[in-house]
Amino acid sequence: RSESAPETLTDGFHLLIDALKLNGVETIYNVPGIPITDLGRYAQAQGLRVLSFRHEQHAGYAAAAAGFLTKKPGICMTVSAPGFLNGLTALAHATTNCWPMILISGSSEREIVDLQRGDYEEMDQLAIARPHAKAAYRILHAEDIGLGVARAIRAALTGRPGGVYLDVPGALLGQVMDAAEGQKSLIEVVDPNPKSVPAPEAIDRAVDVLKSAKKPLIIIGKGAAYAQCDDTVKELVETLGFPYLPMSMAKGLLPDTHPQCASAARSLVLAESDCVFLIGARLNWLLQHGQGKSWGEKGTKKFVQIDIEPTEMDSNQKIAAPLIGDIESCSKALLKAMGSDWKKPDESWTGKVREKVEGNVAKMAPRLKNNNSPMDYQGSLGVLKDLIAENPDVVLVNEGANALDQARSIIDIFKPRKRLDVGTWGIMGIGMGSAVAAAVETGNQVLAVEGDSAFGFCGMEIETICRYDLPVCIVIMNNNGIYRGDGTNWSGGEDPATTVFVKGSRYDKMMEAFGGVGVHVDNPDALREAVKAAFASRKPTLINAVIAEDAGRESGNIGNLNPSSVVAQA
């Protein structure tokens, strides 16, 4: 506030910050620049936590992850045009994952943009954002800031959560209005996460279907983790007594070591079950759309599904009993309708699943104990599995191809929302942004298990991690390349199209350059000691973990999604 400005005036900067604060926003994931540089400064001056990143995409991924972790919209703030486009990737990612996020972007002056007169960073951002977001709004007048923020918050949270774009032209921020009028124009959104209660007949229908199942299965998705009704979901799963599969970010909602967890018998339960109950999980590509070889004989399954989004039903398979509502309301109503004498499925089914789980876990166990150097995925991840079991509050961030697929199946998670990964798109580059958000939002230690290629999409943010001195330990599974480090150039040259990186790259030295701890390890024992030290010190740490060049598979577990050339193979 300048000396000469009368106390009776406010402006766009302050109204926007007041509106966010009134609605419980505490943190902004930001990259400063024209026209939002001062907005970040004022926000900090008004008590918000403003974290500035090196690139908007990672500020955006942090906001998206914050939305998932907190059930409140994560806020990302970017500059116009290029900064906006960089942030938009993350906004689309949040929308795709059904996470609440608001991308606030500065933009250029409407009068110039709309006549395409060529402004500094000219772009019609609102039009571009709209198809990538759940909703998109622009605020033109200071007196509408309260309305704009309220609409953004409600759109991000209510129903199926998603990403919202809020366009803030530079001129808006400087607009002045009467301070008392300004305060009156702000809106505190009432009940932005309203209950959505299922119809009683829908509950009865679902109970009938679940009751008639002989070989039932539950699939728990990240919608259930997001819903933050952990005890209710646990009670429902345990009362039903069905085997369950957690999707990757639902791991830990019940501990992966739970006797009903069927992760290690995935093929068996998908193929043989006769009834599948989806709780906050979509039958998308991650579940092969509920069809094909892995799902057993066609037409042998009945589906029951809880989802807050009505149009999710029948999007891939016929849903015999749709439960449209929020997971907590649906689960409570089901429990009530099931009564106190619910009959659990026959031991012939649950026992068979359990036996398969125990057999597969026992088969894997010795491989996780190998001390090979250079390391393979089993030996290295076996170490991390032990350390997470000893430190179940650590938030695991995970991306890569093999580094992702192997870590997801090897590392057990014990508590809800302790795993953040590539999500519905299976994208690379979420690692460092997610790690920052996990550390900031939970205060817990973070362990980021990164493929060396995945790390390349976000690596510069280790400076951000060091600057804010966050308790993040990054383990780079370094096999010298995208997928593997032993690719060849099919024309015989030196430079394979599937990139082989500089051999023996020392990512640990990058960390040292920013004042963090860098460690270079090539065997599981050394990896264990390095991660233990990182957890004990809570210092920003990067461990360059040398993995054999030929470890891993092209595209990890999803190599089947690569089209193959008929001509070349003929």
Binder of ligand ADP out of 18, 167, 256, 307 (CB under 6 A): 307
To ligand ADP, the closest distance from the beta carbon of 100 in angstroms equals 10
Binder of ligand ADP out of 250, 270, 368, 470 (CB under 6 A): 250
> Whats the size of the chain, residue-wise?
570
Taking alpha carbons only, the member of 257, 229, 231 closest to residue 244 is 257
* One-letter-per-residue 3-state SS of 150-165: HHHHHHHHCCCCCEEE
- Please choose which of Mg ion, ligand ADP, none residue 312 contacts, taking the beta carbon within 5 to 8 angstroms, the exact cut-off set by kind: ligand ADP
DSSP letters along 227-283, please?
A: TT-HHHHHHHHHHHT--EEE-GGGTTSS-TT-TTB-GGGHHHHHHH-SEEEEES---
Binder of ligand ADP out of 92, 133, 308, 475 (CB under 6 A): 308
- Please choose which of ligand ADP, Mg ion, none residue 305 contacts, taking the beta carbon within 5 to 8 angstroms, the exact cut-off set by kind: none
185 or 505, CB closer to Mg ion?
505
38 or 309, CB closer to ligand ADP?
309
What single letter denotes the amino acid at residue 118? G
Q: Site map for ligand ADP, 128-167, x if CB under 6 A?
A: --------------------------------x-------
Question: Which pair of structure tokens corresponds to residue 272?
Answer: 């043989």
Question: Which pair of structure tokens corresponds to residue 177?
Answer: 């209005």
Sole window of 131-139, 282-290, 375-383, 414-422 interacting with ligand ADP (rule: CB under 6 A): 282-290
Binder of ligand ADP out of 126, 150, 247, 530 (CB under 6 A): 247
Q: d(Cα 397, Cα 409) in Å, to the nearest integer?
A: 14
> Is residue 479 a contact point for Mg ion (CB under 5 A)?
yes
Taking alpha carbons only, the member of 271, 268, 220 closest to residue 244 is 220
Q: Is 370 helix (H, G, I), strand (E, B) or coil?
A: coil
- Please choose which of ligand ADP, Mg ion, none residue 101 contacts, taking the beta carbon within 5 to 8 angstroms, the exact cut-off set by kind: none
173 or 247, CB closer to ligand ADP?
247
- Please choose which of ligand ADP, Mg ion, none residue 397 contacts, taking the beta carbon within 5 to 8 angstroms, the exact cut-off set by kind: none
40 in Cβ contact with 52 (< 8 Å):
yes
Sole window of 234-242, 246-254, 257-265, 529-537 interacting with ligand ADP (rule: CB under 6 A): 246-254
Q: d(Cα 201, Cα 223) in Å, to the nearest integer?
A: 23
Bridge partners for 5 per DSSP: none
> Is residue 558 a contact point for ligand ADP (CB under 6 A)?
no
- Is the Cα dihedral 264, 257, 557, 376 positive or negative? negative
The bridge status of strand 9-11 relative to strand 176-178 is antiparallel
Q: Which of residues 325-344 bind ligand ADP (CB under 6 A)?
A: 326-327
Bridge partners for 303 per DSSP: 276
77 or 283, CB closer to ligand ADP?
283
> Is residue 309 a contact point for ligand ADP (CB under 6 A)?
yes
Q: d(Cα 322, Cα 313) in Å, to the nearest integer?
A: 7
326 or 461, CB closer to ligand ADP?
326
159 or 241, CB closer to ligand ADP?
159
To ligand ADP, the closest distance from the beta carbon of 369 in angstroms equals 30
Q: Site map for ligand ADP, 205-224, x if CB under 6 A?
A: ----------------xxx-
Taking alpha carbons only, the member of 510, 534, 506 closest to residue 521 is 506
To ligand ADP, the closest distance from the beta carbon of 91 in angstroms equals 16
How many residues in the shown chain lie near Mg ion by CB under 5 A? 4
Bridge partners for 544 per DSSP: 476, 520
185 or 248, CB closer to ligand ADP?
248
Q: Is 177 helix (H, G, I), strand (E, B) or coil?
A: strand
> Is residue 452 a contact point for Mg ion (CB under 5 A)?
yes
- Please choose which of Mg ion, ligand ADP, none residue 133 contacts, taking the beta carbon within 5 to 8 angstroms, the exact cut-off set by kind: none
Sole window of 130-138, 203-211, 242-250, 447-455 interacting with ligand ADP (rule: CB under 6 A): 242-250
Q: CA 399, 401, 402: angle at the middle one, nearest 5?
A: 105
What single letter denotes the amino acid at residue 140? L
- Please choose which of ligand ADP, Mg ion, none residue 479 contacts, taking the beta carbon within 5 to 8 angstroms, the exact cut-off set by kind: Mg ion
Q: CA 554, 558, 564: angle at the middle one, nearest 5?
A: 70
To ligand ADP, the closest distance from the beta carbon of 176 in angstroms equals 40
Per-residue b or e along 549-563, where b marks 16 or more CB atoms closer than 10 Å to that residue's CB: bebbeebbeeeeeee
Contacts of 42 (CB under 8 A, 6+ apart): 13, 14, 17
> Is residue 185 a contact point for Mg ion (CB under 5 A)?
no
Q: Which of residues 54-113 bind ligand ADP (CB under 6 A)?
A: 97-98
Q: Exposure of 421 by Cβ count < 10 A (0-12 exposed, 13-18 middle, 19+ buried)?
A: buried
The Cα-based distances of 99 to 19, 82, 95, 526 in angstroms read: 21, 23, 6, 38
Binder of ligand ADP out of 44, 239, 284, 360 (CB under 6 A): 284
Q: Which residue is nearest to ligand ADP (CB)?
A: 223
Provide the binding-site residues for Mg ion, judged by CB under 5 A. Answer: 451-453, 479
Write out the residues near ligand ADP by the rule CB under 6 A.
97-98, 160, 221-223, 226-227, 247, 249-250, 280-282, 284, 286, 306-309, 312, 326-327, 424
